[in-house]
Chain A
């Protein structure tokens, strides 16, 4: 009961400590920073122990998943990094992870991010409902082509081709502006939420 009333005030104290960084780096910030690193590290570690139990030890015992003993051993070998002369054994487990992750990451990437995007760009220039749609589609077509062109590295564009590359750069900038803007929205919401929290704890607003 008592602790529940203190926690919001601690929240306010931390808020001031962290935001004091905006003025300059100081001991209050360092206190919050180091507390947080300790807490986060401890938290991560407890979660790791938890999942080692639920996805490693317990399936081996209850579901007879004896194959999981192999990653357990390889995992313990990863810890060999602490001793330089046997550190090479840690690379086995790590490289299996790299292999799995890379395989997963690249197997569908060309379909999802190249073929689908190319197909989406196909348009029929012969039938368009109105002039605006016509303009929009041509606009997208030109910006896609010029952007891809901009990313060609091994051929230096010369003559008129230089302009295509430049248009590509402009198309990228047009794409980045809206992304920046939607981030403004999210960040302002988070800021407003924290200021509201601050005012609520101090009793200025309900």
Chain B
């Protein structure tokens, strides 16, 4: 009996990892197929971000920066869609979309396919600028005089010909600077080139790994608010009342976290049992 027991314990402790992998797929897939509607609290920063955008008035300019590469898109994609859905819903604001990371422009075009544009017209209410190379230097120039670094939009039209650009010369004309940022290099450059000299509110979406890196800037007030990873996106989707892919995945994130915790717990119980038994010997 004793021997058999030990066998089970051993088997559990050295469980084939393929079994764990299959369990994981099930745990992730089931809530996707049958949403469990697990409760989800909304963090205060997501709410701050939402309120700041909600408070925009007609005629105000917003810059949306898509500073994100493909690797971060799983988290920043839902964030972008949620953010842009909200921005496009607010009547008569002007949205300038820009990117300082090569893949950013392609990705934001991808996101816009899933965004409800309401009655916003390209060239009048929003414009997409092409990728701007040159890192921090380019940002500094862009903020002081847009036309010095970019003269054409992403489709090759001259910016002077667009009515949206009439009242927009530099970053002093905007109310909020917002966007998704990953990797974090552009963020530090924004702090130096945008927040410190121009004192503009900065609202960003970042992937969850980068939240600790962002914390010091949040605490110092240099970044006004942030969305943290896919959970931030899910919360934002809840706030704007448009459930999207972020919210759909929130349940499976909950279940997979629980499973990891249960596994850790089980592993430790087995370990302690084994130690106690070994000690008796």
Contacts and interface: CB of A to CB of B under 8 A. Distances in A.
Does a CB–CB distance below 8 Å link A and B in the complex?
A: yes
Interface of A: 22-23, 54, 178-179, 182-186, 188-196, 199, 204-205
Nearest to B133: A54
Interface stretch (B60-68, B92-100, B116-124, B248-256): B248-256
Interface in B247-281: 248-249, 252-253, 256-257, 260
A182 B209 contact: yes
Contact of B252 (A54, A182, A183, A192): A192
A136 to B, nearest CB: 14
Contacts of A179: 212
B209 A192 contact: no
Interface string B179-211: 000000000000000000000000000011101
B33 A192 contact: no
21 contacts: A178-B212, A179-B212, A182-B211, A182-B212, A185-B209, A186-B207, A188-B28, A188-B252, A189-B230, A189-B253, A191-B256, A192-B28, A192-B249, A192-B253, A193-B249, A194-B74, A195-B28, A195-B252, A199-B32, A204-B33, A205-B248
A188 B253 CA distance: 6
Interface centre among B17, B29, B229 (most CB of A within 10 A): B29
A205 B75 contact: no
Interface of A is mostly: helix
Nearest to B251: A192
Closest 9 CB pairs of A and B: A189-B230, A193-B74, A192-B249, A192-B252, A185-B208, A188-B256, A186-B209, A186-B208, A190-B74
A205 B248 CA distance: 10
B231 interface: yes
Interface of B: 17-18, 21, 24-25, 28-29, 32-33, 74-75, 133, 207-209, 211-212, 229-231, 245, 248-249, 252-253, 256-257, 260
B209 A188 contact: no
A196 B25 contact: no
A195 B75 contact: no
Nearest to B72: A186
Contacts of A183: 209
Given A189-B74, A189-B249, A192-B253, A182 B32 contact: no
A184 B257 contact: yes
A188 B207 CA distance: 12
B231 A195 contact: no
Contacts of B21: 22
A205 B256 contact: no
Nearest to A178: B212
Contacts of A184: 257, 260
Nearest to B250: A192
A172 B252 CA distance: 31
Contacts of A189: 74-75, 208, 229-231, 249, 253
A178 B75 CA distance: 19
Contacts of A185: 208-209, 229, 231, 253, 257
Contacts of B18: 22-23
A60 to B, nearest CB: 17
Contacts of B133: 54
A186 B231 CA distance: 10
Nearest to B253: A188
Interface centre among A178, A189, A191 (most CB of B within 10 A): A189
Contacts of B25: 195
B238 to A, nearest CB: 16
Nearest to B20: A22
A117 to B, nearest CB: 11
Interface centre among A184, A186, A190, A195 (most CB of B within 10 A): A195
Contacts of A182: 208-209, 211-212
B260 to A, nearest CB: 6
A15 B229 CA distance: 23
Interface centre among A23, A185, A196 (most CB of B within 10 A): A185
Given A184-B260, A189-B230, A196 B245 contact: yes
Contacts of B33: 199, 204-205
Nearest to A188: B256
B101 to A, nearest CB: 13
A195 B24 CA distance: 11
